[in-house]
Amino acid sequence: MVPSLDFPRWWGKESTSRGNPVVVTMENRNYSVLEINGPDEVFRPVDKDRGKNAKQFTWVLLLKAHKAIGFVSWIGNIVWSLFVSIKKRLIFGTLETEKSGKGRILYRVIVVFLVMALAFLAFELMAHLKGWHLHIPQSLEIRGWLHSVYFSWLEFRAGYIAPAIQGLTNFCVALFLIQSADRMLLCLGCFWIKFKKIKPKLKEVPLKSDDLEGPGCNYPKVLVQIPMCNEREVYEQSISAVCQLDWPKERLLIQVLDDSDDESIQWLIKGEVSKWNQRGVNIIYRHRLVRTGYKAGNLKSAMNCDYVKDYEFVAIFDADFQPNPDYLKLTVPHFKDNPELGLVQARWCFVNTDENLLTRLQNINLCFHFEVEQQVNGVFLNFFGFNGTAGVWRIKALEESGGWLERTTVEDMDIAVRAHLCGWKFIFLNDVKVLCELPESYEAYKKQQHRWHSGPMHLFRLCLPAIIRSKMKFWKKANLILLFFLLRKLILPFYSFTLFCIILPLTMFVPEAELSMWVICYVPVFMSFMNILPSLRSFPFIVPYLLFENTMSVTKFNAMVSGLFKLGSSYEWVVTKKAGRSSEPDLLELEERETKAMIHPQLYRGTSDSGLSELSKLKEQQEAAPKPPPVKKLNKIYKKELALAFLLLTAAVRSLLSAQGVHFYFLLFQGVSFLLVGLDLIGEQMS
C-alpha cells in the first residue's frame, strides 16, 4: 500500500500503521527472513543488534567489486583507444606546415614556453624530492650550491617575473569582465525581444501566390546570384532550390557565378543550368577568365553586366544554401515604403548539426550569433555584419556604398560597414531560415575561422579613418569601433588565448602571480551557459564547448594578429570544404515534385528533372569501368595545438605539487582537448 500523508507522524508522533502484515519466507534457511508489519516498516531504523548473514554480505561485496572492475575496464578501454589513435596519428599523420611568418613565430614562442616549463618542472621536482619548499623559505640557511641556486631563483621569480605576470593577468581579467558584461547585455536584449515579441513587421499583407500571374502584378524585379568555386558536392542542390523560388519568372533572373578552375566541374554546372533553362527558368551561367578578388571579384564582375540596371534588388546565396520557395516573399516586401532599408538578412539553419561533435559545437556558436547578436543589433541599432549569403540587398545601397571591393577576404562585412556609414539600415529576420551546411572536418573549420577572424582586423585598419571622418553620430562611431571591431573581433581572442593558454600555465611555475578560482571556473562556465541558452538541446555539451572554445583561441589569435599586421595569410581565401549531406534527400524530393509536375504542369512551372536518370546511367558506367584505388583520408597533425597540449599537461603536473585541485583539473582537461584537436581526433578527416 502507498504510505499515507500522515502529518503528525512527520513530527515524530506515533500513529497506527495501516495495511496487513506481510511475512516473506524462503526454503533455504541460509538466507535471512524479514518480517514486515506494515508498509512503513522498511523506513524505520534497523536494529543494530540484529545479526547479519555472512553469505549475503559476501555477495554484496562481490557485486560492488564487479561494478568497480567494470568501471576500471571501461576507463582502460577508453585510454587504450585514445593511445591507439594517437599512435596512428603520429605514425601516419601529415604535419601541417605554417605558411605565414607570424604562424611560425607563434609556434616558436609556444615551444620556448614549453621548454622553459619542462626545465622548471624538473627543477621543482628535484626541490620537492629534497624536501625544499616551493616558495621563499623563512630561514636564510643555505645547504649547498644547488640550494643557493634554488633560493636565488625564488627571489628572482618573486621580485621580477611575478609582478609582470600579475599585471598582464589583471589586464586580461579586466578585458574578460568587459566582454562578459557585453555578452550579458546582449542576452538581456534578446530576452527583452522575446518578452515583448519584438520583430520586424510588414506594413501591408505579404504577397500572395494567387497574384503571381495576375494582370496587375507589380512585383519588383529581383536578381539572384549564386557564387561558387569548385563546389562539386553542393552545386546541384543550391541551383535546384533557387530555381524553385516562388516569384514571377519574368521578374526573376538567376546568375550562377562559377569560378571553378576544374573543367569537369564547369561542365557539370553548365549542364545543370541548361536543364533548368530548358524548363523556362531565367538562369545564366557566368565564368570569369581572370579570377581575381575571390568572391568579391566574382560578385563585382556580375554586377557590371548591363542588364543589372533593370533590377531593383539582389539576393545572394552561397553554393551550399537552399532557400525555401517563399524566401523572396518573406524578405522583399520589407523594402516597400522603407526607402532607408538597404539589407534584409535571414537566419542560417543547418542540415548536419548532429553529424559529429564538431558540428554540434559549431551550432552552439552560430545559434548565439544569430539569435542574440544579429537579432539584438538589428532591433536596437539597425546594423549588423552582413553574413555574405541568405540576404537581399537594395542595389542602390550597394552602388552608393561603393560596390564590392577586393581589398579584404570579408567582403560581406566590408560592404555592410560602408553601407552603415552611408546611412542605410538593416533588418534581421530570425523567423526566416535558410538551410546550409556546417564544416565537418577540423581542417575546413580551422581555415574558415582563420578567414573570419583575420579579415575583420584587416578591414578595421582600412575602415578606421573613414569611420572617424564620417558624419554619423558619436555613439554610433563608438559602437562600431569599440564593440563591433575591438571588443568582439580583437579582445575576445586576445584574452582567451593569453589568459587560459599562456598565463594560467605560467602561474603554476610562478605561484606568486595568482589567478583566482572564479576566473578559471565560475565566470567561464557562466558565460558558456549564456552562449548555450539559444540552443538548449546542446546543454549536455557545455563542458566540451568551453574547452573547445579555448582550444580554438589559438587559431583565432593567430588570425587576428595576421590581419592586424597585414601578413600574407590575411589575404588567403580557402573555399570551405562541403560534404553535400543533403544531396540525396533533395534529389528524392525533386523526383516527387517532378512526378506531380507531369500531372499538373501549371502548378510547378519552375520544376525540372531531378537528374536521377542521369545519376543511374552514371552509376552503371562507373560499375562497368575499373574501380580506382580508394582515396585515403589524410590525418593532419597541428603543431601549435600539440605544443600547447604538452605545455598545459606539464603545468597540470606542476599543480599537483602545490595541491591546487581546480587548477589541476582545468589544466588536465584543457590539455587533453588540445591534444585531441592537435591530432585531428575531432570531426571527420579530409580526403
- What is the helix (H) or strand (E) element at residue 283, kind and residue range? strand 283-287
Residue with cell 579555448: 550
How many whole angstroms from its chain centre is CA 281? 36
- Beta-carbon-side half-sphere exposure of residue 22 (alpha carbons within 13 Å): 12
Question: Cell 614549453 belongs to which residue?
Answer: 114
Q: Please tell me the distance from the alpha carbon of residue 523 to that of residue 541, in angstroms, as a whole number.
A: 17
Phi, psi at 291, each rounded to 5°: -95, 80
Residue matched to cell numbers 562539386: 232
DSSP state of 658: T
Three-state secondary structure call for residue 188: helix
Distance separating alpha carbons of residues 431 and 438, to the nearest angstrom? 20
Burial class (CB in 10 A: 0-12, 13-18, 19+), 652: buried
- The grid coordinates listed for 403 are 560596390
Who's near 333: CB < 8 A, 6+ residues apart? 202, 204, 206, 207
Radius of gyration of the chain from Cα atoms?
32
HEC string of 37-85 equals: CCCCHHHCCCCCCCCCCHHHHHHHHHHHHHHHHHHHHHHHHHHHHHHHH
Distances (CA, A) of 498 to 502, 611, 639: 5, 52, 18
Instruction: Point out which residues pair with 255 in neighbouring strands.
Output: 225, 284
Hey, what's the cell of 625? 569501368
User: Which residue reads 577568365 in cell numbers?
Assistant: 289
* Distance of alpha carbon 80 from alpha carbon 98, whole angstroms: 31
200 vs 202: CA distance, rounded Å: 7
Q: What DSSP state is assigned to residue 534? A: G
Rounded-to-integer distance, Cα 687 and Cα 684, Å: 9
Which amino acid appears at position 425 of this protein? K
Question: Which of 247, 340, 259 minimizes the C-alpha distance to 606?
Answer: 247
CA distance 249 to 208: 15
CB 273 within 8 A of CB 236: no
In the block, cell 542602390 appears at 396
* HEC assignment per residue over 495-516: HHHHHHHHHHHHHHHCCCCCCC
Number of continuous H segments (helices) and E segments (strands) in the chain: 24, 11
Cβ neighbours, 10 Å, residue 585 = 11
Give 288-296's long-range contacts (Cβ < 8 A, gap of 24+).
288/259, 291/259, 291/261, 292/406, 293/406, 294/259, 294/406, 294/409, 294/411, 294/573, 295/227, 295/229, 295/259, 295/388, 295/411, 295/573, 296/404, 296/405, 296/406, 296/408, 296/411, 296/414
User: What's the CA gap between 66 and 62, in Å, rounded?
Assistant: 6
Three-class SS state of 341: strand
Residue with cell 578527416: 685
Catalytic residue ranges:
259, 412
- Asked if 224 and 317 touch (Cβ cutoff 8 Å), the reply is yes
